[in-house]
Amino acid sequence: MLISDKSTRSLADRVAMGLSALCALHCLLLPVAISLLPTLAGFGLDNEEFHLWMVIVVLPISLYALISGCRQHKHNSVLAIGFSGLAVLVAAVVLGHDVLGELGERAATLLGALLVAISHLQNYRLCRGDSDRPRVD
């Protein structure tokens, strides 16, 4: 049984939304968890490698889902929002806390993850034909 392009794109949108949520949770909750549970500090989840690997995983999934979705529904603003979010995520990884500072890096990562999640949610809804939902355009 072959998996259709539509179901693959739908899965990619859902995975990308989940990864965006994971990224946001990591940024928001890890400092609290580390302060409450010092043993978590040894796991290395608060380093640049985590952000790099998240971007490496998110980029191809997001690009595939958003580009193929926009080919179907023709709402290019979804693509623009998604690409903007991906660009912010890449900038946060490239510039890091050395250039942006700890707070700046965290803010950029959260903004990028939010934009990516919004674009995937809108893409998912438009591809499913949920016309009763508000549009990004």
Span of 16-25, 53-62, 71-80, 101-110 with lowest mean pLDDT: 16-25
Tokens representing residue 68 in the block: 């193929």
Interval 14-40 mean pLDDT: 63
pLDDT tens across 72-119, in order? 889 999 999 999 999 999 999 999 888 999 889 888 988 998 898 888
Distance CA 17, CA 11 (A): 10
Output helix, strand, coil percentages for the chain, rounded to the nearest 5.
85, 0, 15
Q: Would the pLDDT of 2 be above 50? A: no
Q: Would the pLDDT of 32 be above 70? A: no
3 three-class SS: coil
pLDDT at residue 134 in the model: 52
- Determine if the pTM surpasses 0.85: no
Indicate the angle between helix axes 48-73 and 5-36, nearest 10 degrees.
150
Backbone angles phi, psi at 2, to 5 degrees: -85, 145
